[in-house]
């Protein structure tokens, strides 16, 4: 029996990533974040290399025998060179990143468009020290009613489906972090923040908190299970029935849901 439970715990846990670098990307749009990161690294390496070569040549050409020449850098020539270099860096590096980022924000991270998709799954997540409480709307399509599905640190979502999450917090600032989906959003007391993602493959993936939220911050870890659409619908139906059985109208603390926010 001990061996059985040990194997279940090991095989059922999130499997460690292989290789170096970021965890593998299993999301629809994660490659966009990776592209920005990789391009930034390339430009940093290029600029760092140029700077090292420039400093090396300066040391080689102007050694101890070279008489020092003091320059405050306010000459017309120095200003022109500084402006030209700044313009090249800004338009080539920053301009490229800025244009692509604005394009992604307007096309991919468009919450209004995600909201209109008929197959979008909506989840409310309430963060607190030190756990993630989740709420799915039941068959009535409304939140904070008796057919809701309420979970604790263990979420299920269907593959190839937009997942729209609204985040809140009851105490301090937390950060809902999905490293395999390149997605992260703060849960802030007094407001509701949106985040959305879409999985391309099934599996179990970590949910972390990316804000230090207190002494037990290290314990604030959840599990996101991506399953087939058929398996998800079966689970949601059963969980909704169980939720109705466990519903207690007098348990005020359990009714933490909110009316879905429109953005």
CATH number for position 126: 2.60.40.420
Residue 251 near residue 137, CB atoms below 8 Å: no
- What is the Cα Rg of the chain in Å? 25
pLDDT of residue 61: 79
What's the count of helices (H) and strands (E) in the chain, helices before strands?
6, 10
Domain co-membership, 143 together with 242: yes
Domain co-membership, 125 together with 175: yes
pLDDT of residue 37: 85
Euclidean distance between CA atoms 53 and 172, whole angstroms:
47
Judge whether 260 lies within some domain. no
Judge whether 199 lies within some domain. yes
The token pair at 260 is 């879905």
Domain co-membership, 57 together with 134: no
Q: What is the pLDDT of residues 117-137, one digit of tens each?
A: 999 999 999 999 999 999 999
Euclidean distance between CA atoms 22 and 95, whole angstroms:
25
Q: Which domain holds residue 56?
A: 30-63+73-107
Judge whether 23 lies within some domain. no
pLDDT level of residue 1 (50, 70, 90 thresholds): very low
Residue 156 near residue 225, CB atoms below 8 Å: yes
Domain co-membership, 161 together with 55: no
pLDDT of residue 212: 94
User: Where are the strands (E) in the chain, listed by range?
Assistant: 121-128, 131-136, 149-152, 154-158, 162-169, 174-178, 183-187, 193-198, 203-209, 222-227
DSSP, residue by residue, 223-236:
EEEEE-HHHHHHHH
Domain co-membership, 126 together with 229: yes
Judge whether 19 lies within some domain. no
Judge whether 16 lies within some domain. no
Q: What is the pLDDT of residues 187-203, one digit of tens each?
A: 999 999 999 999 999 99
The token pair at 14 is 């999130």
Domain co-membership, 99 together with 126: no
Residues linked to residue 122 through DSSP beta bridges, in sequence order: 164
Domain co-membership, 155 together with 241: yes
- Higher-confidence position of 218 and 97: 218
Sign for the pseudo-dihedral over CA of 224, 229, 235, 236 = positive
What is the torsion angle, in degrees rounded to the nearest 10, for the CA atoms of residue 239, residue 244, residue 250 and residue 253?
A: 20
Average per-residue pLDDT in the chain?
86
Domain co-membership, 137 together with 83: no
Q: Single out the residue in 82, 107, 132 at which a domain terminates.
A: 107
Domain co-membership, 178 together with 235: yes
Cβ atoms within 10 Å of 152's Cβ, excluding its own: 10
Domain count, the chain: 2
Sheet containing strand 162-169, edge to edge, reads 149-152, 131-136, 121-128, 162-169, 193-198
Residue 198 near residue 28, CB atoms below 8 Å: yes
Euclidean distance between CA atoms 191 and 185, whole angstroms:
12
Q: What is the pLDDT of residues 6-39, one digit of tens each?
A: 444 444 556 667 767 788 899 999 888 888 888 8
């Amino acid at each position: 029996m001990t061996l059985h439970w040990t194997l279940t715990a090991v095989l059922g846990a999130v499997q460690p990533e292989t290789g170096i670098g970021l965890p593998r990307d299993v999301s629809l749009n994660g490659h966009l974040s990776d592209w920005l990161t990789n391009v930034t690294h390339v430009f940093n390496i290029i600029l760092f290399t140029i700077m090292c070569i420039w400093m090396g040549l300066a040391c080689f050409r102007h050694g101890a025998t070279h008489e020092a020449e003091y320059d405050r850098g306010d000459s017309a020539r120095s200003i022109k060179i500084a402006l030209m270099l700044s313009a090249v860096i800004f338009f080539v590096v920053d301009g490229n990143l800025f244009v692509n980022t604005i394009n992604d924000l307007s096309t991919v991270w468009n919450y209004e468009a995600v909201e209109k998709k008929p197959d979008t799954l909506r989840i409310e997540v309430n963060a607190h020290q030190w756990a993630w409480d989740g709420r799915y709307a039941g068959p009535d399509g409304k939140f904070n009613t008796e057919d809701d599905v309420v979970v604790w640190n263990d979420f299920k979502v269907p593959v190839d489906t937009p997942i729209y999450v609204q985040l809140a917090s009851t105490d301090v600032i937390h950060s809902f972090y999905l490293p395999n989906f390149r997605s992260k959003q703060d849960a802030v007391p007094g407001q509701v923040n949106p985040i959305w993602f879409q999985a391309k493959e099934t599996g179990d993936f970590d949910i972390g908190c990316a804000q230090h939220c207190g002494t037990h911050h290290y314990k604030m870890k959840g599990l996101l299970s991506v399953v087939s659409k058929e398996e998800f619908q079966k689970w949601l139906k059963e969980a909704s029935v169980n939720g109705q059985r466990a519903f207690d109208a007098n348990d005020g603390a359990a009714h933490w849901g909110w009316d879905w926010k429109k953005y």
